[in-house]
Structure 1
């Protein structure tokens, strides 16, 4: 197959990262590069969001030449004042035009453009370059009134929930399609399931209120009160250090601090090691998740997924078949499900194996990239 010149535009690129969105885009960039395509990543250089991150494939060409027009806090992203943001936007446009002239891409994969502005994608479209915009947030990163009406612009959504949500907001979705982001399941796969001797619970997400870390801690308090043996690891960074402190204080006041650890942000390699010593992943998010890649990674590693199933996360698991769903924001229901697992070891193992098989067969990143390649070629053909 003929190889493509692909530009990728995203606000952050690992090791500068906040969540799964930018890490997924980086994985696609590396896989496309590995498959022989010429890839240029245009992103920002925002060192304050640097994490410990070791790529598993060779990097494509990455230029951290763009400038964000705002920043993030525990309340989400916000723009700088117009007198500061507008010159940044103009400079980004100038940089993009220069890079396009030098690289001459055939297609563009756009990721998270929060704090970058839609004008960058409009420059690509004006130059006749098809833009596939992979949406992994509830919003595409710009208001409806500046939607770039062009036959060269196409949404790819990470879940059917996101597609429906965009439609409900009024964004045109006639040509949109869902391609699940998947995960690096081949890397996380463990042929031997972790022992089911007792509950060894993992949490792997941002430790923030909207992610429901407090719901899990409350459920752990109930398990401790009931005398059910367990250990737990709460892995992930935070923009709410006061929440982490409050959770640690609650655990200490209940007297089971020796059973719970907070290692902070983990690299992919560290996360794989974490999964080797745990047998349950709890995904307690209270907000409508676009998807939830960590769920797939854990399932591939042989952990039992216990999830709130909010938003697009519900599309990953069939309750009672390949995972378990508890009522969002209900620690009592979560504790009931967790405490039941050791009582039914055969059923526990069956659900876990089905979950692992599903992750491997339906949610591979390689499959995702193959689907993206098909979209690239179709867009070029339609043009």
Structure 2
């Protein structure tokens, strides 16, 4: 199949440091190419891919000091996509809703994966205005706030099988927090839990401009007051394998409807159990008592840490390999692509070309 993948431009594909959506777009793109599909990736110019890259910005917008507003860059990318839309059997968008008014004429061969939270009040009327746009959720829980729309399915994220190696015997005796410093991710809870459990905590996370005040007023003082806590900052993929693999457990103490939580399956790939608060997608991702423990408060998290050594890290890895690989994710998407009512097969494209060559109008 000829497939277009349209990524956000905030980060490269894959991101150099933190970044969830662009990371998944990269994993999906590379697996589709590996499976033999003809894939074109619309993404930032510093992306690295085995697909055909259409650079839509010089570099990841978050890392470009000259960029103040990301919207113009995405508008220009959408113009490039729409001008070339007829080249593709399927167009797969990962940019929320920006393209909806532009793709009505070929919406029946598009897929839009929604990667973010959907419980914000401004989104309800927007999605109500586009009820026929083909959508994919990344967890069943993500769908709950939505008006009636055209869900094609839920497809959980996946990672390349060999991206993060399994660590049977972690060398560190610490807890890990990986992601982003923000109120909904609750790094303050992680610090409290580690202090009560009398365990070291290492925090590898980025601080967005929007969360700088939260860092300055809440988290930085807490880290300074707790000598068991080490702040590392943003880390890359190589550092992530060591960081997660050598941890006793990953703390995922979220306080929001997490749409998926990529870090949970990254930890599972390393064999590292996850102690997660039961919000959003967590009950869909974590097999309680097998890949970690689902808790509902700090007391439960501390108690779970006393039992985490009883979990079999090999079983944690086995669940990852069964449920959360990039090959499974790509297989799910390809099956979905083939069921789209407007999907164009090779035969249909051939008929159109032959008809045009001899001056006939052919309806494919």
> TM-score w.r.t. structure 1 length?
0.75
C-alpha deviation, 1:374, in angstroms: 1.3
Matched, 1:362 2:323: yes
Match of 1:251 among 213, 218, 223: 223
Write out aligned runs for 1:86-235 (5 A).
94-100=79-85, 104-113=87-96, 117=98, 120-127=99-106, 130-139=109-118, 143-147=126-130, 149=132, 153-163=133-143, 165=144, 168-173=145-150, 175-190=151-166, 192-194=168-170, 199-223=173-197, 228=198, 230-235=199-204
Aligned mates of 2:35, 2:206 — CA distance in 1: 32
* Partner secondary structure for residue 324 of structure 1: strand
Note if contact 1:10-1:110 (Cα within 8 Å) is conserved in structure 2. Answer: yes
* Partner secondary structure for residue 30 of structure 1: helix
Write out aligned runs for 1:3-18 (5 A).
4-12=1-9, 13-14=11-12, 15=15
Aligned mates of 2:215, 2:107 — CA distance in 1: 48
Note if contact 1:184-1:297 (Cα within 8 Å) is conserved in structure 2. Answer: no
Flag the 1:273–1:377 CA change in 2: closer, same or farther, 3 A: same
C-alpha deviation, 1:375, in angstroms: 1.3
Matched, 1:294 2:263: yes
Select between 372-381 and 214-223 the one with higher mean Cα deviation.
372-381
Aligned mates of 1:216, 1:136 — CA distance in 2: 24
Select between 35-44 and 365-374 the one with higher mean Cα deviation.
35-44
Note if contact 2:175-2:250 (Cα within 8 Å) is conserved in structure 1. Answer: yes
Matched, 1:332 2:332: no
Note if contact 2:128-2:149 (Cα within 8 Å) is conserved in structure 1. Answer: no
Matched, 1:266 2:235: yes
C-alpha deviation, 1:380, in angstroms: 5.5
Residue 323 of structure 1: aligned partner = 292
Flag the 1:95–1:59 CA change in 2: closer, same or farther, 3 A: closer
Q: Tell me the alpha carbon deviations over residues 61-111 of structure 1, each in whole angstroms, 9 at most, x when there is no partner.
A: 13215999x99xxxxxxx97xxx97x878755543333336xx11111111
Write out aligned runs for 1:272-311 (5 A).
272-311=241-280
* Partner secondary structure for residue 187 of structure 1: coil
Residue 76 of structure 1: aligned partner = none
Aligned mates of 1:10, 1:243 — CA distance in 2: 29
Q: Tell me the alpha carbon deviations over residues 133-170 of structure 1, each in whole angstroms, 9 at most, x when there is no partner.
A: 11222339961243163xxx42221111123x1xx431
C-alpha deviation, 1:210, in angstroms: 0.8
Note if contact 2:109-2:342 (Cα within 8 Å) is conserved in structure 1. Answer: no
> TM-score w.r.t. structure 2 length?
0.78
Aligned mates of 2:167, 2:223 — CA distance in 1: 34
Aligned mates of 1:332, 1:211 — CA distance in 2: 18
Select between 242-251 and 232-241 the one with higher mean Cα deviation.
242-251
Aligned mates of 2:187, 2:195 — CA distance in 1: 13
* Partner secondary structure for residue 209 of structure 1: coil
Match of 1:349 among 306, 311, 318: 311
Write out aligned runs for 1:52-63 (5 A).
58=50, 60-63=52-55
